[in-house]
Amino acid sequence: MADGGDVNHVIVKAARTHGVRLEFDFAGVLRASGGDRVQALRGLRKLRELVEHYDAPFVVSGRPASHLHVRSPRELVAVGAEIGFTDAQVRAGLREWTHLAARNRRRLSAEFIAPGVKRGRYEEDP
């Protein structure tokens, strides 16, 4: 939804089908004020409704630009409550980054020749 973009049911269903995580970026709520903050909350609420309805995977972030922007899980849970998330949902969205990092480490290992092409039993090491 950044830069005036929009998310609809087609995108959310495709993300669920292909295992792509949708990101709930709380930066707009954490660092904006007034009408911009209200618009950010409205967009995140709409996205939450779509993600819950289609049971799509998601991650939660605060997109810190510096060490001064880093927020604790407790603060992110508070923002998530304003959007309509439960504490457990926000914490699960934060934990999802761990799974993505592990998957990416495995994909970047020597086990893969190219994206989607894994070394097999007949593949010789050069």
**Distances, alpha carbon 22 to alpha carbons 48, 77, 94, in Å:** 10, 17, 12
pLDDT digits (tens, 9 = 90+) for 16-29: 999 899 999 999 89
CA distance 22 to 7: 10
**Antiparallel, parallel or unpaired: β 117-118 and 22-25:** unpaired
> What are the structural domains of the chain?
9-111 (3.20.20.140)
Q: Output the pLDDT for position 125.
A: 60
Q: What is the dihedral of CA 25, 31, 77, 82, to 10 degrees?
A: -90
The model's pTM is: 0.80
